[in-house]
Amino acid sequence: MEHFNLQGKKWWVLGAIFIVLLLEFLLFMDRPFFWDALTKAQRANWLYTHDFSQLVVPTDLNSGHPPLWIGGIALFWTIFGKALWSARLLLLLVNLGVCYQLWIMLCRFFGKEVPWWLMLLVFIEPTFLAQTTSLNNDMLLLFFTLLGLNSLLANKWNWYALALSGILLTNLRGIYIFIALTVLHVILVRKDLLVYQSKMLRGYLIGLFVFLMFLIYQYVILGWVIITPNPHYSGHREAVPVRSVLKNTVVFIKSILENGRLLVWIPLFLLLWRSFRRKTVLSASIRSLLLVLSVFLVVFFLGFVPFSNPIGPRYLMVCYLLAGVLFIKLLYELPVKGYLRKGLLVAMVIGYVSGHFWIYPPTIAQAWDSSLAYVRYDAVEEDMLEYISKKNIPVSEIGSQLRMNFRKIAAADASDVKDLYFATPNLDVNPYYLFSNIENATSDEEIRELQQHWEVIKNIDHCGVFITLYKNPEF
């Protein structure tokens, strides 16, 4: 790898990003858990209310993922009080760490020929930006991933050991990242893009040892590891038939290209195709970056596509960031005309900004935590709940797949959470039904039934994010 040094780099770029993260923390301080993060709130709540009597939650709450993130939330609740802001303080610290590691990577790969301000374009990637506001564990996983990548490229075994341990203790997807980094290490050394140092093996041994100790502990407590017997989650670990593999392949590609990313990935592919056809000699940094991106893509593809677990765009977040870095790097190292370079950079900005406004029809599943479109939901939900309360409609008569009834779990007093439980969704018996495009659980057939035959009592829409209260015509 080419050597790099942080002297003379634009430190104030990092400072500006940190200021934005602080402002984001203040703005979103009271924003509740959302979507998949709701289950993290439930598990963290169990650890908190049981005073860390054990470090894994019971099987009826456990999806199999390691508890580093939920344990962190419960710890911050214990230290600072059980409130949303204390959970978001933990997220802020993680965000600062992620952006610092990403900045280090940019300093490594961006040479003097790349204008410093282009670093900012990488940070506005829509799914990355959305995840800085989400109380899920993906930012913690991304932190350890970037720390591992930077430590590997710098041959720093102690930080590498910490990164690998964190990767494996944050999420089961960390197993794929561990494999990707291992494969990457081997290829970089064989391609003479990284100097082999035997001490780096300590990082793998320590990471595996820590993970093994956790697995042993969980097995002693729960009697199982990795694949949970909880029927709500166990179906996500199954192999799928060929037809489903093809469908998952389409979903994988869709995840890469949606939210405006097609304006980066398609030009990136064309630039690489042109350079290969012309047999352009690529610099060591570009070859290393291309190799890193390729290995992550291949490992994720082989790890996600053959199995039944839904593929969330946020799972590929590190690939989006690497693609953005590689795209900008190619624009300034390949013989690209000035007007074309400027046009492609403008297209990149347009793609990333427009990504927060991609909203599909209700019958198409959407990953709402992959763009900031979801932040418009809170006001919509609040207005609908106020309307239901004003009209004295019993929530027990309203069927819904929405999980907003769990959103107060981080409140200091969560005793009123049960008051928001809606009826089990069943169009045959529900007098009312509450539907929003923010959830993907209501089937296409049920959506069409609601739209065609049920009466709309109230519809609240904010820039495409909506909640509709329907009344059953049979009642």
pLDDT in tens, 280-294: 888 888 999 999 999
The C-alpha atoms of residue 212 and residue 218 are separated, in whole angstroms, by: 10
Q: Could you tell me if residue 5 is inside a domain?
A: no
Same domain for 415 and 316, yes or no, is: no
* Average pLDDT along the chain: 89
* pLDDT in the model for residue 9: 56
Contact 405, 421 (CB under 8 A): yes
Quick: pLDDT tens for 9-37: 577 888 999 999 999 999 998 888 888 88
Same domain for 242 and 108, yes or no, is: yes
Domain that holds residue 435: 368-471
Out of 357, 389, 408, pick the residue that ends a domain.
357
Amino acid identity of residue 116, one-letter, is: W
Q: Could you tell me if residue 1 is inside a domain?
A: no
Same domain for 346 and 392, yes or no, is: no
Amino acid identity of residue 147, one-letter, is: L
pLDDT at 407 over 60: no
Same domain for 178 and 291, yes or no, is: yes
Looking at residues 103-115, what average pLDDT do you find?
Answer: 87
Q: Could you tell me if residue 394 is inside a domain?
A: yes
* pLDDT in the model for residue 282: 87
Quick: pLDDT tens for 368-382: 888 998 888 888 888
Same domain for 296 and 409, yes or no, is: no
Quick: pLDDT tens for 28-86: 988 888 888 888 888 998 999 898 999 998 988 888 899 999 999 999 999 998 888 99
Same domain for 88 and 158, yes or no, is: yes
Out of 357, 390, 423, pick the residue that ends a domain.
357
Same domain for 292 and 374, yes or no, is: no
Same domain for 279 and 372, yes or no, is: no
Q: Could you tell me if residue 64 is inside a domain?
A: yes
Same domain for 179 and 282, yes or no, is: yes
Q: How many domains are there within the chain?
A: 2
* pLDDT in the model for residue 23: 96
Which range is least confidently modeled, 107-121, 139-153, 186-200, 289-303? Answer: 107-121
The C-alpha atoms of residue 171 and residue 132 are separated, in whole angstroms, by: 17
Same domain for 278 and 345, yes or no, is: yes
pLDDT at 405 over 60: no
pLDDT at 107 over 80: yes
Looking at residues 443-465, what average pLDDT do you find?
Answer: 91
Same domain for 372 and 340, yes or no, is: no
Residue 212 tokens read as: 């093994």
Q: Say what percent of the chain tops pLDDT 90.
A: 57
Q: Could you tell me if residue 362 is inside a domain?
A: no
pLDDT at 415 over 50: no
Same domain for 344 and 377, yes or no, is: no
Contact 102, 139 (CB under 8 A): no
Residue 399 tokens read as: 């069927």
* pLDDT in the model for residue 180: 97
Which range is least confidently modeled, 119-128, 394-403, 406-415? Answer: 406-415
Q: Could you tell me if residue 229 is inside a domain?
A: yes
Q: Could you tell me if residue 87 is inside a domain?
A: yes
Q: Could you tell me if residue 258 is inside a domain?
A: yes
Contact 24, 133 (CB under 8 A): yes
Out of 357, 391, 421, pick the residue that ends a domain.
357
